[in-house]
Amino acid sequence: MNKVAGYRVMVGMKQKEMATILNISRQAYSEKERGNIPFKDSEKEIMKEKFKLVNPNVTIDEIFFNH
């Protein structure tokens, strides 16, 4: 499981729920989560705000890029 999926699971959201928030299809979200299609910067910001529920100091770099 990648970090994006891990954070999504930690906040208790299904792919469909995250897709709805991002205003994309579940299939498109799945492709993005697997790394086949990049997330838009605006989508990353929305996701970061959701993921702050489990880690208030989370950064986009921490979620989407390997360290």
Can you give the pTM of this predicted structure?
0.91
Domain ranges of the chain: 3-64
Enumerate long-range contacts of 55-62, CB under 8 Å, 24 or more apart: 55/7, 58/7, 62/3
Tens of pLDDT along 2-60?
A: 999 999 999 999 999 999 999 999 999 999 999 999 999 999 999 999 999 999 999 99
Q: Choose which CATH entry (1.10.260.40, 3.50.50.60, 3.40.640.10, 3.90.800.10) describes domain 3-64.
A: 1.10.260.40
Judge contact between 5 and 49, C-beta under 8 A: no
